[in-house]
């Protein structure tokens, strides 16, 4: 993967410290920006996690830059800004880095030819970001109800001008889309296979986990024998944009997330400080298990602990 830091955070490997009054104050003093994952950190499904709004307000009042870095590709940045608004949070589109946006930016920086098209297995957010970046995208939700009949002499046509298949979370996954993406990758010379992310599961609803983009990406790996280019966390592809935009040193940033293998690894790969919150998929026993090799700098139960620990 592109852009990984050859010098990971010196703390990686050492056991995580529980966040307390003293180290929370030191952390706040040592960084200028907080990068937040969203699902399991800011919200679960459509429910805001307790105390998030006040915590973000406090951090902004202390002059900290806030950035939201999400692997969930189903929404575009504009749709995410709406979601933040609907939950009572004031976040602008410029503060949001989604893996749908990252997929479009990957094509842009790699000079994807304007006469080529992208086929999407995933949500409306990927299509919107691709189109905003000036690309022709097909597939996505409009192929959700399409069915195929495996009958003799049935021939499945695909567009020979598709030069990239972009795969993200797709709750409307079907055999039609799988065949379309598979044919493009196997038969169109040079066709790229881009994964927004490879999360195995995620809190698509507040009550439980559901298969994530890793499921759809795994399906296309299985039918093509190819490995994807991953643009979401833990790949640091998005970090390059972030750094260009905000002119900040990664060592003055803290990545806050609920997943060890995406958020914390992403922060460490980029050279940021890292804070794990236990309000999402990772439990304290997973963190402490001998099979886990990813240790954040700090951990705490939820984002709003910062408020409490700083006595605000």
Annotated binding site for substrate: 233
Smallest separation (angstroms) from a second copy to the CB of 169 = 10
Annotated binding site: 37, 39, 233, 258
Stretches 95-103, 105-113, 196-204, 245-253: which one binds a second copy (CB under 8 A)?
A: 196-204
x-or-dash string of contact with a second copy, 141-180, rule CB under 8 A: -------x-xxxxxxx-------------xxxxxx--xx-
Annotated catalytic residue, options 29, 32, 39, 289: 39
Strand order through the sheet with 273-277: 17-18, 298-300, 273-277, 253-257, 33-36, 65-70, 96-98
Q: Strand pairing of 43-44 and 33-36?
A: unpaired
Residues from 47 through 76 that contact a second copy (CB under 8 A): 47
Q: Is 46 a catalytic residue?
A: no
Total of chain residues touching a second copy, rule CB under 8 A = 46
Which residue from 50, 142, 206, 312 is in contact with a second copy, where contact means CB under 8 A?
206
x-or-dash string of contact with a second copy, 6-45, rule CB under 8 A: ---------------------------------------x
Site membership for a second copy, residue 121 (CB under 8 A): no
Cβ-contact 191, 164 below 8 angstroms: yes
Q: Is 37 a catalytic residue?
A: yes
Site membership for a second copy, residue 291 (CB under 8 A): no
Smallest separation (angstroms) from a second copy to the CB of 137 = 21
Site membership for a second copy, residue 208 (CB under 8 A): yes
Residues from 72 through 91 that contact a second copy (CB under 8 A): none
Name the residue nearer to a second copy (CB basis): 74 or 76: 74
Smallest separation (angstroms) from a second copy to the CB of 227 = 11
How far is it, in rounded angstroms, from Cα 222 to Cα 211?
Answer: 16
Annotated catalytic residue, options 37, 143, 263, 297: 37
Cβ-contact 275, 17 below 8 angstroms: no
Site membership for a second copy, residue 214 (CB under 8 A): yes
Interface positions with a second copy (CB under 8 A): 45-47, 148, 150-156, 170-175, 178-179, 182-183, 186, 198, 200-201, 204-212, 214-225
- Known catalytic residues are 37, 39
């Amino acid at each position: 993967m592109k852009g990984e830091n050859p010098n990971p955070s010196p703390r990686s490997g050492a056991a995580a410290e529980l966040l307390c009054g003293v180290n929370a104050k030191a952390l706040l003093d040592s960084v200028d920006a907080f990068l937040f994952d969203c699902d399991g950190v800011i919200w679960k499904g459509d429910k805001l996690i307790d105390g998030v709004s006040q915590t973000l307000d406090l951090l902004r009042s202390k002059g900290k830059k806030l950035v939201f870095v999400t692997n969930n590709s189903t929404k575009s940045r504009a749709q995410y800004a709406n979601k933040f608004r609907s939950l009572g949070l004031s976040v602008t589109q410029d503060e949001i880095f989604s893996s749908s946006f990252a997929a479009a930016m990957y094509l842009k920086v790699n000079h994807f030819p304007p006469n080529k098209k992208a086929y999407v297995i995933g949500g409306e957010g990927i299509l919107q970001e691709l189109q905003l970046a000036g690309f022709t995208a097909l597939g996505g939700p409009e192929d959700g109800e399409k069915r195929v009949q495996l009958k003799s002499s049935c021939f499945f046509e695909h567009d020979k001008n598709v030069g990239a298949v972009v795969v993200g979370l797709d709750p409307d996954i079907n055999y039609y889309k799988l065949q379309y993406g598979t044919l493009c990758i196997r038969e169109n010379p040079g066709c790229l296979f881009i994964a927004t992310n490879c999360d195995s599961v995620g809190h698509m609803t507040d009550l439980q986990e559901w298969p994530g983009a890793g499921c759809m990406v795994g399906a296309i790996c299985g039918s093509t024998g190819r490995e994807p280019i991953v643009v979401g966390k833990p790949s640091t592809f998005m970090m390059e944009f972030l750094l260009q935009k905000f002119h900040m040193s990664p060592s003055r940033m803290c990545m806050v997330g609920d997943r060890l293998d995406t958020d914390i690894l992403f922060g460490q790969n980029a050279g940021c400080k890292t804070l794990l919150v236990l309000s999402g998929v990772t439990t304290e026993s997973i963190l402490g298990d001998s099979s886990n090799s990813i240790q954040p700098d700090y951990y705490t139960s939820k984002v709003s602990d910062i408020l409490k620990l700083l006595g605000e």
